[in-house]
A and B are shown apart, each in its own frame.
Chain A
Amino acid sequence: MQKITREQLIDKAVSLLENGTVEAVLGWGKGEFDYDVTPTVFKTADEINAGFVWNDFCGANFSRYLVAKTGKIEGKILVFLKPCDTYSFNQLLTEHRFDREKVYAVGIPCEGMADIAKVKAVCGEGISAINCDGEKIAVTTLYDDEPIMVDAKDVLAERCVNCKSKKHVAYDELLGEEGEVVDSARFDEVAKIEAMTPDERFAFWQNELSRCIRCNACRDACPACTCEKCVFDNPNSGVENKAPANSFEEKMFHIIRAFHVAGRCTDCGECSRVCPQNIPLHLLNRKFIKDINEFYGEYQAGAEVGSRAPLVDYTTGDIEPGEVFDRRDTNA
């Protein structure tokens, strides 16, 4: 269902490689399964023709890979950025995490990516092949003779259903048409949880977070979690903790992780996308974003380079921590 085609992207990548503008291309490559698209660095046209993938499963946000990859090459690296990726791109620039001069960013439109969990919910396990074809996704499984046709719209990832922007906020070159910032209902889910009783909230999160296996996928995919060394891996931090021993530590990890990215999180949704346990981690981040918007005024991380994140800023008239609850209770 993507408007831009694989051929267009390959043409662009190959021409930029050949005219020497860039020396490497950061793109989506084949993974173990068709839906398991993997961020890959391509260095030659042949590699690209053979391995470049573009379909409804190319959700990966490449911004964070620039932190490591730009350090490894002399020249420029080409990166394809979907609209939501550009926010992370800007946020990382704000934090001086990579050298803008070493990147050639091509903005590409995105019609929303598919969620493999939703596909599996329709087709079951044992998926052997997937073909994206226009509005439909053809899923071949080990157990069915005929491919199952799924409507791409029905298996759209949550973050794409609640897409916040189809506008690119950073690029060197734009392929396809520019979109607009979208009015999304992304905070509805958060509001729903807020409306629960404390006991219900606790039960909800206990249920969700107890599934955490501390694989650190959320951390490793997150464009805001690009620390040289994570506090949870640092013996001097006092909270070193590689694997959770009980339910507290899962919470500790996720609260601290969300806190550390609060004000910096662009709400790209990578954490929830990569979570093998399907924990709705974005609901933690969005809670912070919602609170920050309500307490300190609307703020979109990454909308512009150099903006000051709300938690490293203040005004003398800020809301008191205690008033936060009064305000919510009177609104309820």
Chain B
Amino acid sequence: MQVKEYKPLIVAFCCNWCSYAGADLAGNNRLAYPADVKIIRVPCSCRVNPMFVLRAFQRGADGVIICGCHPGDCHYTSGNYYTRRRMAALFSMLDYLGIEKERTRVEWVSAAEGAKFAATMNDFAEKVAALGENKRLEDLRCKK
């Protein structure tokens, strides 16, 4: 049997105006972070439906991180405030159901914070990797 090296799968939802641009800046400055992080662009962090988060876990993601503009800097003035409330409630609920709290995170990354983006992703990937595979929320049929 071939033993594959364990690599966590991380889905990052980034808002178009701040965090996605922050990720681009990390690229411009060649600040490395694990390739396990895959970014999905959304117009605003408030577009992220809890269903997307759960779907990612279902399909085998090991961690989900949501990045948006810093509170007060939202391109749409208030979107990230709603994100903050929704995700505080959702992540608390996931923790209540026994899903490790290190697998979920909300981080505010501005378009100027390329270094913060890379550092956040490195740190998050490390924490998720330490937990190992997500077995609690995944749908086994989705594993090949």
Contact = CB atoms under 8 A, between A and B. Distances in A.
Answer yes or no: do A and B interact.
yes
Interface of A: 190, 193-194, 198-206, 231, 237-239, 245-246, 248-249, 251-252, 255-256, 258-259, 262, 284, 287-288, 291-292, 295-296, 310-316, 318-322, 324-325
B98 A255 contact: no
B132 interface: no
Given A316-B72, A321-B106, A288 B97 contact: no
Contacts of B51: 231, 237-239, 252, 256
Contact of A202 (B87, B88, B97, B106): B97
B36 interface: no
A237 B6 CA distance: 32
Given A238-B55, A325-B95, A255 B88 contact: no
B110 interface: no
Given A202-B99, A251-B137, A262-B89, A314 B105 contact: no
B144 interface: no
Contacts of A255: 50, 54, 90, 93-94, 97
Nearest to A260: B50
A205 B97 contact: yes
B116 interface: no
A71 B94 CA distance: 38
Contacts of A252: 51, 54, 58
Contacts of B140: 246, 248
A319 B87 CA distance: 11
Nearest to B95: A325
A314 B84 contact: yes
- Tell me the dominant secondary structure on chain B's binding face: helix
Interface string B52-87: 001100100000000000011000001001101111
Given A252-B54, A287-B93, A320 B88 contact: yes
Contacts of B86: 311
Nearest to A325: B101
A314 B141 contact: no
A258 B139 CA distance: 20
B113 interface: no
B137 A287 contact: no
B100 interface: yes
Contacts of B92: 287, 291, 321, 324-325
B142 to A, nearest CB: 9
Contacts of A203: 98
Nearest to B104: A321
A206 B137 CA distance: 11
B139 A246 contact: yes
B91 interface: yes
Interface residues on B, range: 35 or more
B110 to A, nearest CB: 16
- Tell me the dominant secondary structure on chain A's binding face: helix
Nearest to A294: B92
A255 B97 CA distance: 9
Given A248-B138, A248-B139, A316-B72, A198 B85 contact: no
A296 B101 contact: no
Contacts of B87: 321
Nearest to A313: B85
A194 B85 contact: no
Interface in B90-144: 90-101, 104-106, 136-141
Contacts of A291: 88-89, 92-93
B85 A259 contact: no
A203 B135 CA distance: 13
Nearest to B100: A198
A256 B94 CA distance: 11
A9 to B, nearest CB: 39
A202 B84 contact: no
A246 B89 CA distance: 25
Contacts of B95: 198, 201, 325
A314 B89 CA distance: 13
Given A248-B140, A321-B105, 6 more contacts: A206-B98, A248-B138, A295-B85, A316-B71, A316-B72, A318-B71
Question: Considering residues B58, B90, B100, which has the most beta carbons from chain A within 10 angstroms of its beta carbon?
Answer: B90
A258 B50 CA distance: 11
